[in-house]
Amino acid sequence: MTRVMVLILLILSVTGLRAAEPTIDDLAARCDGYMKARMAYQATKFSGAVLAAKNGQTVYAQGFGLANREYDIPNTPKTRFRLASVSKQFTATGIMILEHEGKLKLDDSVAKYVSQIPESWGKATLHHLLSHTGGVPENLRPALFKGMWGQYVARDRLFDHLKNVPLSFEPGVKFSYSNTGYALLGRVIEKITGKSYEEFLRERIFVPLEMHDTGFDSRKLVLKNRAVGYALEKDVYVHPLFIDLSQVDAAGSMYSTVEDLLKWDNSLYTERILPASSWERMWTPVKENYGYGWQRLKVFGRTLVSHDGGLPGFVTTTWRFPKERVFVAVLANLEGSAVSRIALDLSAILLGEPYDLPVNRTEVAVDPNVFDGVVGEYLVRPAVTAVLPWFGERELRPAAILTVSRRENFLFAQMTGQGRFRLLPESADRYFSPADEIQIRFIRDETGRGVALVLRQQGREVKAERKPPPPEKSESSQPRGEKRDG
């Protein structure tokens, strides 16, 4: 499963007067306007379905692109998508149901329930597996390298290629994302209940919540309204690398719809499946903001509980702001789809936070020599808050540095602790980054030297002053006794 990048930078430093509370119709119109602009934006890759809800009610739900390109079947809110790692919250819930019923303890060794594993893995407890802190080696990457992804594998043989691989680290020491751990949790459920993993979750979660469009995908399954996964190669749609979901198992083999996921989210405010104390334990981070099947972050200064997912041909994410009762699901059947960006912006609309409509901008030819005047380091004050993948809001103090550099005939920018991105000119002083949806305007003095810049992203602007060069060393600053030339 992949972790999906949210943004390179999110400026969260501007506050202002709040307008009157918008109506549901207002919010729906804003969501629709945003998605139309998003789909018209040339840098956007997206095919899938979105749903935005507030107080348990759908505000906006719509499909975009095609579920099946061979037959021109459109995506809708009822289209079934592979969930990938969004499935992990359901696997974790199954374990917590058994824990609540006294059928297991979270500090039990995995070896108590699963015998066909290396001896060292027995040091890992169920708590460690749930929180990705067990040191259990990842199974999907080695399987890919060995050419196994397209092969069906029986559950009792799933870890055969890891039988001589020890733990990566002592359990509890650190966080390391492991699909193997969640596949093992599926085996624990089966051992305790005497039922298949799928049967148990269907009986205890999907049927009670009337999630009729949610289940477990496989190569043999004939499934109505299923989305086909795609990739792009040089702007041409292609079928992605095939993976048999037996390789993924309880770590991410589910399918669902955005509408069913709203039913699931609504149940999390009740005790129909688990008591509130169990939910809270699942959402409490152990390490790296990760609890049990969910991560908890700060976005817009609010608590976000979420999870991303990715499989060949599919990218998924669910965002929930529990206190504000806001939920957004974005399911895509196209690799590289901007699911996290869409989730961020739809969340901003429902929460009354600033956002920008995507606008296609035109790169113009400028003399590359104009870049030289703005090359340098710019001090961003007040401190900015970066939204990083899997880490949420991180304030960069005492202040962030935006470094502007030239490489041959191209201009680049890089924020403290983040990746470098190219700036395309709209004029000699205005630049943009289409993939990151950032705009930068340079302010020059009378000599043409850049003295400041204004950076805009996510509906907010922040000014950055050029960092002064370090003072030159004077003669008096030289060490005593050092002989000077001349």
Which residue type sits at 126? L
Residues 462 and 343 in one domain: no
Residues 40 and 135 in one domain: yes
Rounded-to-integer distance, Cα 245 and Cα 251, Å: 10
Q: What angle do CA 179, 181, 184 make, to 5 degrees?
A: 110
Residues 323 and 372 in one domain: no
Residues 253 and 187 in one domain: yes
Q: How many helices (H) and strands (E) does the chain have?
A: 9, 23
Distances (CA, A) of 408 to 369, 373, 402, 485: 10, 14, 19, 36
Please indicate, yes or no, if residue 394 is contained in any of the structural domains: yes
Residues 274 and 373 in one domain: no
* CATH label of the domain that carries residue 436: 2.40.128
- The pLDDT value given to residue 12: 40
Rounded-to-integer distance, Cα 440 and Cα 164, Å: 53
Please indicate, yes or no, if residue 1 is contained in any of the structural domains: no
377 forms bridges with which residues in the sheet?
403
Residues 332 and 456 in one domain: no
Residues 320 and 456 in one domain: no
Q: Is 356 helix (H, G, I), strand (E, B) or coil?
A: coil
Rounded-to-integer distance, Cα 319 and Cα 290, Å: 14
Please indicate, yes or no, if residue 13 is contained in any of the structural domains: no
Residue 336: partners with Cβ closer than 8 Å, 6 or more residues away: 45, 231, 232, 315
- The pLDDT value given to residue 473: 62
Q: Is 80:257 a contact under the CB 8 Å cutoff?
A: yes
pLDDT digits (tens, 9 = 90+) for 462-479: 999 998 877 766 555 455
Please indicate, yes or no, if residue 296 is contained in any of the structural domains: yes
Please indicate, yes or no, if residue 363 is contained in any of the structural domains: no
Residues 280 and 387 in one domain: no
Residues 194 and 79 in one domain: yes
Please indicate, yes or no, if residue 443 is contained in any of the structural domains: yes
Please indicate, yes or no, if residue 5 is contained in any of the structural domains: no
pLDDT digits (tens, 9 = 90+) for 376-433: 999 987 544 544 444 455 544 456 899 999 999 999 999 888 889 999 999 999 999 9
Q: What angle do CA 343, 345, 347 make, to 5 degrees?
A: 65
Please indicate, yes or no, if residue 436 is contained in any of the structural domains: yes
Residues 254 and 298 in one domain: yes
Question: Could you say which residues of the chain have pLDDT below 70?
Answer: 1-19, 382-399, 472-486
- The pLDDT value given to residue 223: 96
Residue 305: partners with Cβ closer than 8 Å, 6 or more residues away: 283, 294, 295, 296, 320, 321, 322
Final residue of a domain: which of 351, 385, 410?
A: 351
> How many domains, the chain?
2
398 forms bridges with which residues in the sheet?
none
Final residue of a domain: which of 321, 351, 381?
A: 351
C-alpha 123 chain-centroid distance: 30
* CATH label of the domain that carries residue 292: 3.40.710.10
Residues 319 and 445 in one domain: no
**Tokens (6 digits) for 390:** 């899997």
Domain that includes residue 305, residue range: 24-351
- The pLDDT value given to residue 17: 42
Residues 230 and 336 in one domain: yes
Q: Is 315:417 a contact under the CB 8 Å cutoff?
A: no
C-alpha 79 chain-centroid distance: 21
- The pLDDT value given to residue 416: 84
